[in-house]
Structure 1
Amino acid sequence: MSQMEGAALSTVTLLLLTGFCSGKDALPPGPANGSVGGSVMLNTVIGSVGPLLTVIWNFNDGSGPVIVVSVANGVPTEGPGYRNRVNVSSTTGSLELRQLTLGDTGTYAVNLIPEKGLPLTGEMILNVYEPISNVTVNASTTDLVELNDTVTLTCSASGSPTSYQWLLGSSDIITGGRVQLSDDGSILTISSVLRSDRGPLYCIANNGISNGTSQPILLNISYGPDNVEVALDSQSEFYMAGSSVNLSCSAQSSPPAQFQWALNGKMLDREGQELKLENVQRNQSGSYICWAHNSITLRYTASKPSMITVLERISGAEITGPSETLIAGISSANLSCQAAAGTSISREWLKGDQPLSPSNRITFSEDKSSVSISPVESSDNGEYQCRLSNPVSTDTASYTLTVNYGPQDVVINGKNTGSSTAEVNSRVTLKCSAVSLPPATFFWLVNGTKRAEKSTFTIEKVSRNDAGNYTCVASNDVTGLKVSAEHYLRVKETEPSHSVSLRATAGIVILALAGLGLIGGGP
């Protein structure tokens, strides 16, 4: 040993035995991390304090401190096992440690004696790790049944992992409830697995200087069948007899579900995702259910019922009415509406293209298959329609109702009563009319004597004997009613032309006599 090395060791020994009067902490809190085979820099935080008289670094792996390197008066002395592996800054006292091994993990302490000022000390932990590699995940099983099974995933890696991170896709797995981690995080346990746990699942192994990610692992989670639904090829539940109906069933299931069909609670000998019904008949109406089965989960799930109603097309619509003669105010009429074929029929009654409404005379049967009018009136005459319909077809029948009425509103020359004056030798025509179905027949009475059987009474040349009461009698042979109207005719004689001349001559004579003073009073 040289004289310089001996002096340095003496100084170190003295410092170790006596301790330091420490100033401020010379090292950051740490720890520092390094990789096997790499290098690490343990920097002080004092900056440059000028020349350092002494720098001492020691290492404690738990069995006691050993010298790493000491520097006295600028001359370094390396401890056993550190030769050619260390380098110390002469101004800051920072230590570079190279060719790291796992054995370099431990606590490093520094003692600095500057040329001026108080001694400085500090400690820092150095962790040396092997780089992470070969990160793998092993599952206790990858074939699972949703809600039934539990899986355990174990993450392992070469190197020196210190922590583990689990990912589902690109998101961190949140623990709690069904999802639990071991204390060191390397084992992930998922209970009552769900289909959303399928993955991909990753494990990331970490230490202070490196990390590694496993290959993705996928879990085969069998589930379902869920959300079993039946779709019809039409939005309506109603189908015409003889048509085709297609139903299809779907379900969320892994592996894919198997399907079977039932009608009105009875299983059909029909399997498969689609059910095709050709030339459907009324006995195929009912509630269709699709049953989905998963051969792995062993679960059965039924769809909601889908109703299918098969109806016959309406045809041969007909209205039947009364066969007897109808008389207004006396008779009643019943109209019945039926079809030769068709099912689930609803009916609507119309008169003259307008809906027929119930009243105190008009009543409908509960199913509207018939309408009763009692008593019938003249206003009930006309064409009636019955519109029969079901969700797949429509047919209309018509019927003309005839109500006999009258006569009524009998008038002569537009008036029910009246009078007129005619001159002798003039021509007079009296016209009689009445409202009636069938049309009324007429005859005339002149002063109580029957004279003519027609609606118009004509006197070609009036005489004084034609004056008097003229009565028109209207009758209806069906209703049996007779109604009359009266008219009084006056006859005025015309004066002869010679009567006028005599009266004029008499006037002239009177005037002449008056002029002669032969008539009138004297003086």
Structure 2
Amino acid sequence: MSEKSVLDKTIPWTAVMLRLSGMCVGEGILPTGPLSGAVAGTVKFTTTLRPPEKPFLSVSWRFNGVNIISSTSINITDPGYAGRISLDRATGSLELRNLALEDSVEYTITITPDAGLPKQGRTNLTVYVLSSGATIRSPTAILIEDESSTNLTCEASGSISSREWIKDGQPLNPSGGVSFSLDNKTASIQPVHISDRGTYQCRVSNPVSTMTATHNLTVSFGPYNLLISGPSAAPQGHSIMLQCTADSVSPAHFSWMFNGNETHVYNSLYIIERLGAENTGNYTCTAKNAVTMMESSTVLDLRVFVAQRVEVSPEVTGYIGNDVTLSCQLIQGPTHTNVTQVQWALQDEEGTGKVTLIVFNTMFGVNISESPLKERVAFDKHSLIIKALEMKDAGSYICSISTFPSGTFEGTTKLVVRAIMVAMLYFIRIRRRHSSAGFRFVIDTTGPERESQLSATERDQDVVYSDIKVKPSRDASPLTNYKLRESVYVDDVTYSEVIVSRQPKSDTECVYV
């Protein structure tokens, strides 16, 4: 009888003996498989048994029907596993090292306790090659929106159990122009759209390793959404920067035209150093994509506006005893604002503070503050009227106009106060005995008008000053020349010029020569 025949007849009897002896097969000795391991790695077959009070009589492990280790009082290891396995005699667990693909089979353990029935368990081991070298391969041709198509192929080395596609961090599923090969190795996009550009990932994996490849897909499109950023109106004299932007891949090339004429500006920025009337008009930005050969244009109409401000006279001259008006006007800007309050104040002599004189508020009306000018100030719309001007009223007056929603604007006017020059002309008849006689005469213009009273000596000098001219001093304003009637005394000497000048104490000095 051959050995094979003996084994064939023995196996059924072994099964019968196991069943008759009550051997428990499986019964949770090993965890549910299969187990996974990597080539050159390590795996441990861990039983669910606790160490018994008395050692097991025997522990044996079989690999694909081959007994790789048997342990009773001694351990007997198959030469092919020497140095690769370790047995935990207390629990029956087995560690297998330096795994090879050939180790992917069924493993069986049989344990005979000191008392009780033998126990047996089975599990499978699958050994994988680690994934490596994952890449996404794509044609190098330039892709143009709605014209081109492409394939993305995921390649990797090792044992590949699955491939998963991801776009911009989200799973990529078949939809529209996106489809996959049966093995999920290739993703096809036909044709490409703007929405197809982005970051694509292919994740290759097996139970013992995972690797991800990344590819950025570029789709040329545009230019779209062309826009000129910058003001459509600005104050005269301001510096203006216009910037042209567009959604475009590859980047768009820009050019500018002004009122239909070439400007020879070929970048996204157009700068006006100082805005004037000659710069107002239509600015056209054109963007062109050298790949898609598409171009687009947009126009900005630039205008000059007067900046919102308060306009006052820098200096106003008034005269003692007269009324004076200090003008103040709000110049509106491009956006109309509402005046909510007008205030006039006088700056103090030190220039560090100011005294409020009069306020107009749209809700509360006019309020005149306590000041030396209280009885002499009034409004003429936004302007200030000062009545019966006094010398001490000279100073800097501040007009403040509050608006909504633009805020408060101010302007300052310097008020100069002057006295009114009154030349009092006198006919002076003086007899003289000597032609070389000369006199100095002072007229007080601040006192009441009166006739000149000559001394007795002066009366004896019978001279008529018949032609009198009023001549200003170097520091005075020009005065009108007056022609008096001619002398009726033929033989008298005529002193023809009178010089009138202002004295430090507001006197007028007349010098007769």
Q: Which protein is bigger by CA-based radius of gyration?
A: 1
TM-score (norm 2): 0.46
TM-score (norm 1): 0.45
